[in-house]
Amino acid sequence: MAKYYGYRNCSYCGIVCTPGNYLDYKRKRYCTSCWIQQENPDHPDLEAIREKVQNAVTVWKLAKYSRNEYHLPVGPKSINKR
């Protein structure tokens, strides 16, 4: 199975962006923790948000590349077989 590189990396910290944990602004991609850090550096839960984003990356990679769930398809059936 081919890898999917559609989510790119954060332009500020370089972490892989997972679905729902990134923001595009002026042609740059930010993870949610970097965006909150830039917009509101005094946020009380900033470290918890950063840990959540980093843990989401490991869970997403493990779920994405498991061989048990993703196998090769059998392919199209021939219409000439009767």
Q: Residue 59 has what pLDDT?
A: 77
Q: Residue 48 has what pLDDT?
A: 92
CATH architecture of structural domain 1-66: Ribbon (2.10)
Q: Where are the domains of the chain?
A: 1-66
Helix (H/G/I), strand (E/B), else coil: 25: strand
The pTM score is 0.63
Q: Please, which pLDDT band fits residue 15 given cuts at 50, 70 and 90?
A: confident
- Cα–Cα distances in angstroms (integers) from residue 22 to residues 45, 75, 77, in the given order: 17, 36, 41
19-63 confidence digits (pLDDT tens) = 888 888 898 888 888 899 888 889 899 899 989 988 888 777 665
